[in-house]
Amino acid sequence: MSDYRLNIAGAGLGLRRALLKPLEGVSTTDINFMEVAPENWINVGGRLGRQLRAYTERFPFVCHGLSLSIGSQAPLDVDLLKSIKAFMREHNIRGYSEHLSYCSDAGQLYDLLPIPFTEAALTHVAERIKQAQDILGERIAIENASYYCAPGQEMSELDFINAVIERADCSLLLDVNNLYVNSINHRYDADAFLSGLPLERVAYAHVAGHFHEAEDLRVDTHGAPVEEPVWALLAALYQRAGSVATLLERDFNIPSVPELLTEVDKIRQIQVETFSTAGLAGRVEALT
């Protein structure tokens, strides 16, 4: 396993509060790992806190942050990072990731906004990631974000992502749906973009659904089933990078547990089929 990979494997699911009761009966055979946004759980006690503890004692967990705002000009939220560090220790969380975007200035902006693909932004973001890693005491994974405009662009999205990862010495949380959505909206070849990423640095991957606003415009929603081009791109990731733990994100229009588990199982199915077809079944990591 690469030093950049987290200690998770197989197919996971994001745990939302609406799923706490419905998922009580599932096991690590059904869902191999889970993910939570730490901001939604830090200092939460009582019944909800006990319910979360019941899950973190049974499943491997990772954290996916929402509000660190790594690209913001405002000072890095050191108190938030210290709270995340304590939360991760309390629940034996296996890694932390954040979006390559920003969501605050003088206050929270309540959206994930694009970082300009410029040399100045690159230097700024890489330094903030290094600072966050120093506070947490571990490498973090940065997620390629969906975006709908590129103000002041001086370099390509691919070059910007690669340079951030290299300068900060961080990992990549590869959101396959975001890659596909961006490829439609900004008219580039998704497979070529995938091949250009430092795949040896992928900590884990995300898949999700999106909305068709127009023929040439997709909106990242996490509110629909994963589409076939995204599944195909996920298989291409496995062919190039090996067995990568992959998590299904579903934040809205959450279907029944059997429907969710069908999509989680499809991740596992693609993992197994990709390596079986390539004659590499013996190299697939344990999925439970």
How many Cβ atoms are within 10 Å of 12's Cβ, its own excluded?
A: 26
Q: What is the per-residue pLDDT for 157? A: 95
State the pairing for strand pair 102-104/108-113.
antiparallel
Beta bridge partners of 36: 63
Contacts of 228 (CB under 8 A, 6+ apart): none
Which of 220, 267, 276 has its CA nearest to residue 245?
267
DSSP letter string, 125-145 = HHHHHHHHHHHHTS--EEEPP
Q: What is the per-residue pLDDT for 284? A: 43
**What pTM was computed for the model?**
0.91
State the pairing for strand pair 210-214/217-220.
antiparallel
CA separation for the pair 157, 232 (Å, rounded):
22
Q: What is the per-residue pLDDT for 161? A: 96
Q: What is the per-residue pLDDT for 147? A: 84
CATH level 2 (architecture), domain 11-283 = Alpha-Beta Barrel (3.20)
Which of 246, 252, 270, 288 has its CA nearest to residue 13?
246
Q: What is the per-residue pLDDT for 113? A: 67
Which of 135, 234, 136 has its CA nearest to residue 176?
234
**How long, in residues, is the chain?**
288
Contacts of 260 (CB under 8 A, 6+ apart): 13, 248, 250, 254
Please give the DSSP secondary-structure letter assigned to residue 243: S
Hey, what are 251's tokens? 């934040």
The answer to whether the beta carbons of residues 244 and 283 sit under 8 Å apart is: no
The answer to whether the beta carbons of residues 160 and 172 sit under 8 Å apart is: no
Q: What is the per-residue pLDDT for 282? A: 41
Q: Please give the backbone phi and psi of residue 5, each rounded to the nearest 5 degrees, phi first.
A: -75, 145
Mean pLDDT of successive 10-residue segments in the chain (288 residues)?
87 96 96 97 94 97 90 87 97 96 56 80 94 97 88 91 97 97 94 98 95 76 88 97 96 93 98 72 42
Q: What is the per-residue pLDDT for 187? A: 93
Give whole-number Cα distances, 153 to 124, 243, 270, in Å. 15, 34, 36
Q: What is the per-residue pLDDT for 283? A: 43
CA separation for the pair 141, 94 (Å, rounded):
12
Taking the C-alpha atoms of 68, 72, 74 and 76 in order, what is their torsion angle to the nearest 10 degrees?
40
Query: Taking the domains of the chain in order of start, what are their residue ranges?
Result: 11-283
Q: What is the per-residue pLDDT for 280? A: 45
